Amino acid sequence: MHSVKLVILGRDGVLNVYREDHVKAPEEWTPVPGALEAVARLNHAGWHTVVATNQAGIGRGMIDMASVNAVHAHMNRQLMTLGGRIDAVFFCPHTPEEHCDCRKPLPGMMLDIGHRYGSDLAGVPVVGDTLRDLQAAAAAGCPPHLVLTGRAAALDAAALARFIEQVPAARVHKDLPAFVDWLLKKDHVADSGAGALDA
C-alpha cells in the first residue's frame, strides 16, 4: 500500500496566533506570519496537511460547532488565495477534566489520522508549539517537531532544554516556514538519493 505524504499540524500557535481566550469567531483567527504560505509550499510539493487541535473551548461552552466550522472555513479561504489547503481538521472538544483519549498529550487524534489516511505514522511529522504536542506525537510514533511560535515563543533556553529532555526525538524550528524548509530539503535528498542531509 502506498502511503500518502502527510504532515500533522497544530492549529493555535502554529497556523494562527494563539489566544488565551480561544479563537471564537473567524475575525479572531489571525495567521502566524508566513504560516499559510508554508502550508501552500507543502501542498505544491505533494504533501497533504491535516490539523490536529485541542479545542477545550467547545467543552467549556465558549464556542459552538457552527463557530468552529466558520473559523475553519475562514482559514481555508485564506489558504486558497495562496494555492494551499488543509485536507482535514481533527479536533478534541473535551476539557481536561473529561479524561478523553483524544486530547493531546494523548495520541488519539494522531492514531485516528493514521487510520483515516492509511499512513505509517513513523513517517508522518507532527508540528506543534507545546510540550503536549511533542508528547502526543511521540506516543503515536510520529516524528515530533516544535516551532518557536505561539506558546513556545516564550520559552527560554532552560525551558526549551527541559522540553527536549522529555521528548529527545524532537526537532526545533524557528517557525512553520523553517520546518517546511527542513522537510522539503530532506524530501529532495531522499528522492534524489544524492548527498547527505545536514542535521
Q: Convert the pLDDT of each residue in 68-124 to its tens digit.
A: 999 999 999 999 999 999 999 999 999 999 999 999 999 999 999 999 999 999 999
Question: What is residue 195's predicted lDDT score, i.e. its pLDDT?
Answer: 39
The CATH classification of domain 6-192, taken from the options 3.40.50.1000, 3.40.470.10, 3.40.50.1970, 3.10.350.10: 3.40.50.1000
**Under a CB-based contact definition with an 8 Å cutoff, are residues 64 and 58 in contact?**
yes
Low-confidence stretches of the chain (pLDDT beneath 70): 1-2, 190-199
Burial bucket for residue 70 (CB in 10 Å: 0-12, 13-18, 19+): middle
**Under a CB-based contact definition with an 8 Å cutoff, are residues 177 and 34 in contact?**
yes
